[in-house]
Structure 1
């Protein structure tokens, strides 16, 4: 028999953030590492293109701030969701406190990112 009044769960929210974080980390982070970690130091991209003023202007623009926020926040949500479920896989069930700790830390990093973006 189908339950006509199923219990609502917040799990789709966490899985959505988990999926978005994993996708962002898999697709955007390698490009960012390529540009900032390989092309810029090797001189393929000019040093003027990544000067402090240009990077600060980008980070404080709407699209730049959104990029910085998503680059830091989404992988953190992915990691914290993986840790939360990894604890269950290891037969360590922290209950609601584990959920609060994991998702609270991801929220803290997300809020800290927003604060730092506005402080630039």
Structure 2
């Protein structure tokens, strides 16, 4: 028999953050590494000064970029870790969920604080 009043699940929230983090990590992070880690150091793109980088990071789009770069992949990783523990038969229950998602929330909060401190 089908339960007519099922309990609400919080899983769609975590899956949404997992998907956003995975997409960010797969599409945006490689380009960021290419530009900041290869093209600028080898002189293919003109170097930017600290002042220019800080100005970009404190602009609205730059702040969203920095927060997304730090926070979204962390949500992806923590969700994968949480469900990976189940695959390994480590059932940590609510405590494991709180620890995994708490770490991701902490990194997200620190990213936001970092932006406002620049």
TM-score bracket, shorter-length normalisation? over 0.9
- Match of 2:77? 79
Deviations 1:34-64 (A, max 9, x none): 10011001101111xx210000000001110
- Match of 1:89? 87
Deviations 1:86-117 (A, max 9, x none): 00000001111100000000000000000010
Matches within 5 A, 1:1-120: 1-47=1-47, 50-120=48-118
C-alpha distance in structure 1 between counterparts of 2:71 and 2:113, whole Å: 12
Secondary structure in 2 aligned to 1:86?
A: helix
C-alpha distance in structure 2 between counterparts of 1:115 and 1:74, whole Å: 15
C-alpha distance in structure 2 between counterparts of 1:20 and 1:64, whole Å: 18
| 5+ residue gaps, structure 1 | none
Q: How many pairs are equivalent?
A: 118
Question: Post-superposition, which runs of at least 4 consecutive aligned residues in structure 1 deviate over 6 A?
Answer: none
TM-score by length of 1: 0.96
| 5+ residue gaps, structure 2 | none
